[in-house]
Structure 1
Amino acid sequence: MERESQAAALRTRWERVAGLAALAALYDRLEDMTGIVGGLRERVADLRARGYYFGRGWEEQTAALQEQWSGQREDAVGILEQERAVLESTAQDIESLLQRATRNPALFDTADSRLSAFEQRVNEAERRVTGSFDQTQQDVSLLQREIARAADLLDLLESASFRLYPQEHGFAACKAEWLPKGNEPIEGILFLTDSRLLFEQRQKMVTKKVLFIATEKKLVQELLWQAPIGGIEVLEIQDKKKFLAARKEFLTLRMEGGDGPPEVLLNLRGTDNEEWARLIRRAGEGQLAAEQHDAETLSPQQEAAEGKASSEEQASLPTKCPSCGAALPTIYRGMQQITCEYCGTLINIE
């Protein structure tokens, strides 16, 4: 009985390993990569057609990846065929040994040892094949994630209750909770553009209950506050993790020049608060312009000239109301218009 059990265990193990030895999963992986790489250019073109303004270098990157993958795929297939031929030859020997072991229990240990060595050889073959294109696959995966985030952003903007300014472009968005002091958390979407930070409530609210059970809900969608990117200061970045609960990514911001509260506490969902703090600071400093898809690479001298021009542009901003002469409130980067607090004149900021 023990002999039959050992033989059955060896046979089951062999069937599993022999299935892997064909390396069929690697052929599928190569075909999947070919399809993904081939579709990158079209996905980028679709984003451009929808108005996505950032993603500098994506077109050049997709072209380079396609050319790179063409050669790497050929090399990977060559390695794959070599490895498969070696494994098939070895597999025949092990199959013969297992058949003899069923008749001669003294061969069980030998068969077990050969099977372990063969399994290791299969793993080495897989690593050798994937090692020929691992870096390219990582680059493709990174670009895929960036493209997917851009597509999600455009979807959210297209369904938003507000519209961007004519020269404003969306850069990032994430699900978030705004936690107003003394009130219930408000679910929504946090948007970052090259001009503003905005929070739009998108929350299903209960409108009818029966025996304390919600039977009807409606979607509440409304822009609750916005602030120019130059008027935002990151005050605190905090992570909170409770036992068996998801980690919460809190971000505390001070805002000036907008129509929201002077300070907000946000719980970001499905993203990293440190990354968002970095994005908000970069936006406030005007660094997002370097990521525009048509941005040029500047030399140190050109960067210095750009900085000087930006300072001169900031200095030329209006400080007095053209109608009544009263001093205007502080103008922050990202503002498109400002209202005189004394006479109510609306002044466009060029």
Structure 2
Amino acid sequence: MRMDTVENQFMREFESLETRIEEIDRESGNMVAELGKLGSSIVELSGRIEDIRRRGYIFRSWLEKDAKKLEEMWRKEEESVKKLMNDLSKLSDRAREILDRLRRRMRSIDVTVGNIRINFLGFYRSEIEDLEESLREHKSQAQDYLGRYGGKLGRTRDALNRIEKTLKIIEEASFNLKEGENIVEAFRATLMGDGKKGGYIHFTDSRFLFEEEREIVLKKVLFIATKKKKVREVLFETPIGYIKGVTKGRVGLLEWTGIYVNLKEGRELVFDVSGNDADRIIEVFEYIESGEVDRDRVKGAVEVKPIVKLECPYCGAPITRKPERGEVAIKCEYCGKLIPIEKLREE
């Protein structure tokens, strides 16, 4: 009975050593993968930015500057990072080699012989402790790189992810942008009310739109739909300037996160959106409504000329109401003619 207990204890210690070696291999591999992913993400930024510009996205002018700065920083330390990755790979290889040797040795010994057990475990335990110490040192260096670059990369990468998602949505939209109009951001949303309608919220630099997306059945066999098609249709649009405000709140009985779009005319639109998108939608509205969107265009994009003429071009009467963002025309209170907003802008 006592011998069984000793042998069981030996096997538990052996399995513990196995686990420690496997953990060294796993953590080393994870660090190599994370550093490799970090480097690839930084190097890919410029190409991704070029792609969204080619596809017509003109806002977030800081992207190029941030990406260039980050890439320059990375290039200075790239060789050091590669050396660290190589060291971690060797550490992982060493761990697998020790594990293989440990298991082969285990199959060839008599675990009932006490002195063999002691020498056997002691020898490998010492090797494993050395590996663990080396892993701690290398992991600390890796985490330093990941921490310093991860935060800087996150802002730029997150913005690009949102823009790429937006461009995919707008490129499949059922409506066309107007001349001089540009997409800012789009979100998946559900319009609440009589019959929920799923679709997309679109913010351009001049309009707010909701586009419904639904499936229609094209073919049925024995009352079962065998062929379907997704169709999209704009259900609501308004100039940005007609919106009084956008707020976050609960939607429905289950405390879903949503937004309330309050129009200056008194009407309210309620949308169910994801929690993160609710805050983001408010930020985008304020970004456009404040005029920051006009100052945040890339170099070479067509500038929005300010409205400087404050009299009717037809009758000369003063214009008493300031045009709202997104309006294309305003009615003269004196002669009654519609004045295209472009006629009031700086030439």
TM-score computed with the length of structure 1 as normaliser: 0.73
Amino acid at match of 2:143: T
Assess, with a 3 A threshold, how the Cα gap between structure 1 residues 94 and 254 changes in structure 2: closer, same or farther: closer
1:197 is aligned to 208
SS in 1 for 2:175: coil
Asked if the contact 1:94/1:111 (under 8 Å) is kept, the reply is no
Assess, with a 3 A threshold, how the Cα gap between structure 1 residues 60 and 171 changes in structure 2: closer, same or farther: same
Are 1:60 and 2:65 an aligned pair?
A: yes
2:186 is aligned to 173
1:334 is aligned to 326
Assess, with a 3 A threshold, how the Cα gap between structure 1 residues 235 and 74 changes in structure 2: closer, same or farther: closer
Amino acid at match of 1:69: W
Amino acid at match of 2:268: E
Aligned residue among 61, 70, 77 for 1:72: 77
Asked if the contact 1:339/1:347 (under 8 Å) is kept, the reply is yes
Q: Give the Cα–Cα distance (whole angstroms) in 1 for the partners of residues 294 and 119 of structure 2.
A: 74
Asked if the contact 1:76/1:133 (under 8 Å) is kept, the reply is no
1:250 is aligned to 258
Q: Give the Cα–Cα distance (whole angstroms) in 1 for the partners of residues 162 and 52 of structure 2.
A: 11
1:155 is aligned to 168
Matches within 5 A, 1:77-96: 77-79=82-84
Asked if the contact 1:192/1:198 (under 8 Å) is kept, the reply is yes
Matches within 5 A, 1:1-350: 1-3=7-9, 5-20=11-26, 23-79=28-84, 103-104=116-117, 119=132, 122-180=135-193, 183-205=194-216, 217-234=228-245, 236-239=247-250, 248-256=256-264, 262-269=267-274, 271-294=276-299, 313=307, 316-317=309-310, 322=314, 331-338=323-330, 346-350=338-342
Assess, with a 3 A threshold, how the Cα gap between structure 1 residues 133 and 17 changes in structure 2: closer, same or farther: closer
Asked if the contact 2:22/2:95 (under 8 Å) is kept, the reply is no
Shift of 1:201: 1.0
Cα RMSD (Å): 4.4
Q: Give the Cα–Cα distance (whole angstroms) in 2 for the partners of residues 282 and 197 of structure 1.
A: 13
Asked if the contact 1:76/1:130 (under 8 Å) is kept, the reply is no
Shift of 1:337: 2.6
For structure 1, list consecutive stretches of 5 or more residues without a partner in the other structure.
297-308
Q: Give the Cα–Cα distance (whole angstroms) in 2 for the partners of residues 188 and 343 of structure 1.
A: 41
- Residues 252-271 of structure 1 deviation map (CA, whole Å, 9 limit, x = unaligned): 112248xxx92211112474
Shift of 1:175: 0.5
SS in 1 for 2:233: strand
SS in 1 for 2:57: coil
Q: Give the Cα–Cα distance (whole angstroms) in 2 for the partners of residues 29 and 285 of structure 1.
A: 39
Assess, with a 3 A threshold, how the Cα gap between structure 1 residues 49 and 207 changes in structure 2: closer, same or farther: closer
Shift of 1:347: 3.2
Q: Aligned residue pairs: how many?
A: 325
- Residues 194-240 of structure 1 deviation map (CA, whole Å, 9 limit, x = unaligned): 11111111122457888986555442311111111111122642146
Shift of 1:141: 3.4
1:303 is aligned to none
- Residues 30-77 of structure 1 deviation map (CA, whole Å, 9 limit, x = unaligned): 333333322221211111111111121222222222211112222233
For structure 2, list consecutive stretches of 5 or more residues without a partner in the other structure.
1-6, 343-347
Percent of pairs identical after alignment? 22
Q: Give the Cα–Cα distance (whole angstroms) in 2 for the partners of residues 176 and 64 of structure 1.
A: 35
2:345 is aligned to none
- Residues 88-146 of structure 1 deviation map (CA, whole Å, 9 limit, x = unaligned): 89999999999699532598699779857854752453132231342213322331221
Q: Give the Cα–Cα distance (whole angstroms) in 2 for the partners of residues 222 and 130 of structure 1.
A: 48
Shift of 1:277: 1.6
Amino acid at match of 1:347: I
Q: Give the Cα–Cα distance (whole angstroms) in 2 for the partners of residues 317 and 330 of structure 1.
A: 9
Q: Give the Cα–Cα distance (whole angstroms) in 2 for the partners of residues 138 and 20 of structure 1.
A: 25
SS in 2 for 1:126: helix
SS in 1 for 2:273: strand
